[in-house]
Amino acid sequence: MPEQAPAISVIMPVYNREAVVRRAIDSVLAQDFTDFELIIVDDGSKDRTVEVVQEVTDPRLRLFRQPHNMGGNAARNRGIREARAPLIAFLDSDDVYLPGKLGYIVRYMEAHPEVEALLDSFVLEEAGPRTSRARLRINPELAANDAIESAIFQRRVYKATPALSARREALERIGMFDETLRRRQDFDIVLRLVAGARCATTSEVLWRKHWSRDSISAAQGTFMAAVLAICERHPQYVRNPAFRKGLARDLARHFLRLTGRGDFRLIFRDGRAFSSCHGQGELMQLIAQGLLEITRRRLGPRRS
């Protein structure tokens, strides 16, 4: 008889993460819900990552290796294709699940058969050179796609990739991850799910995100290319006045950080890149709007 498919597949891309990958694996194996498979896709690691993974003998873990480094999105898509479960969850190799993550997702999807994709909430742990701090990233409870789309663009919903769980059929229907994107793949795939599948969000805190200064999202040099890629794929980000607030804050915060570092070369390069696509006047308007929004937020009640 063929082996019964698990209830949910966890997909973890990994590249040169020998120091932290075991922590992520252990957080999945420690789940209070046990009917899962953990698919790890090594993206051409050159350190001992593969050896560390192979030391784990749990039969629910399946390791696949890319022929060479193809990027995290290609690895995630490989995992989706290899998955046997109807539900898919994601985990980055430097993050961890809380023990109730998978059980909550499976029960939620069983109770809401109309929902095809769910965004949950998490704890953000930021590690600095001397100190670290943890902050809650709580999503509102939303069940209407238009409300979720607006909240994503306006930065009222946190949509990091490990917060996403989805039915495999929905991921396949929208074309899975865009393998040409090296950054902000979470932004892109959630927007495409909102456009092509029934989505919901939950305030339930189910995992921990470990952010450090060497993470992809912290790299200022790749910021503008990622923003322009999202604007090209989702032009409503620029055109819709209600959605521009998030873009305006992103741009203002980016240029403030560069100014604080005195990186005028990157200021010039990124300003020219955005202006060549959308015009210098548009850039100035967005930065001004973003500065006002940042000031308003700092003077008003702070989000936890």
Which helix (H) or strand (E) segment holds residue 202: the answer is strand 199-212
Instruction: Give the separation between CA 14 and CA 44, rounded to whole angstroms.
Output: 9
- Between strands 117-127 and 164-167, the pairing is antiparallel
- Asked whether the beta carbons of 162 and 210 are under 8 A apart, the reply is no
Instruction: Give the separation between CA 1 and CA 9, rounded to whole angstroms.
Output: 21
Coil, helix or strand for 61? Answer: strand
Instruction: For CA atoms 17, 214, 88, 185, give the dihedral sign.
Output: negative
Q: In sequence order, what DSSP letters do the residues of 243-288 get, joined into one string?
A: THHHHHHHHHHHHHHHHHHT-HHHHHHHHHHHHHHH-HHHHHHHHH
- The pLDDT value recorded for residue 102 is 98
- For the stretch 54-76, pLDDT in tens is 999 999 999 999 999 999 999 99
pLDDT band at 294 (very low <50, low <70, confident <90, very high): confident
- For the stretch 276-292, pLDDT in tens is 999 999 999 999 999 99
In the chain, the percentage of residues whose pLDDT exceeds 70 is 94
Coil, helix or strand for 110? Answer: helix
- The pLDDT value recorded for residue 303 is 46
| DSSP code, position 52 | H
Rounded to an integer, the average pLDDT of 167-195 is 96
pLDDT band at 301 (very low <50, low <70, confident <90, very high): low
- The pLDDT value recorded for residue 3 is 75
Region of residue 218 (phi > 0: left; psi between -120 and 50: alpha; otherwise: beta):
alpha
- The pLDDT value recorded for residue 253 is 94
pLDDT band at 132 (very low <50, low <70, confident <90, very high): confident
Rg from Cα positions in the chain: 20
Instruction: Give the separation between CA 93 and CA 43, rounded to whole angstroms.
Output: 12
- Boundaries of CATH 3.90.550.10 in the chain? 8-216
pLDDT band at 129 (very low <50, low <70, confident <90, very high): low
- The pLDDT value recorded for residue 217 is 47
Rounded to an integer, the average pLDDT of 87-96 is 97
Instruction: Give the separation between CA 16 and CA 20, rounded to whole angstroms.
Output: 9
Q: Tokens in use for 85? A: 């479960």
- The pLDDT value recorded for residue 221 is 87
CATH of domain 8-216: 3.90.550.10
- Asked whether the beta carbons of 212 and 257 are under 8 A apart, the reply is no
Helix, strand, coil share of the chain (percent; to 5): 45, 20, 35
- For the stretch 134-165, pLDDT in tens is 899 999 999 999 999 999 998 899 999 999 99
Instruction: Give the separation between CA 24 and CA 49, rounded to whole angstroms.
Output: 12
Distance of CA 213 to the CA centre of its chain: 17
Which helix (H) or strand (E) segment holds residue 280: the answer is helix 280-299
pLDDT band at 133 (very low <50, low <70, confident <90, very high): confident
Average pLDDT score, the chain: 93
- Asked whether the beta carbons of 117 and 165 are under 8 A apart, the reply is yes
Who contacts 171 (Cβ-Cβ below 8 Å, separation ≥6)?
80, 88, 193
Q: How far is CA 203 from CA 1, 98, 120, 198, 217, in A?
A: 41, 14, 6, 18, 23
- For the stretch 184-239, pLDDT in tens is 999 999 999 999 999 999 999 999 999 865 554 456 788 999 999 999 999 999 99
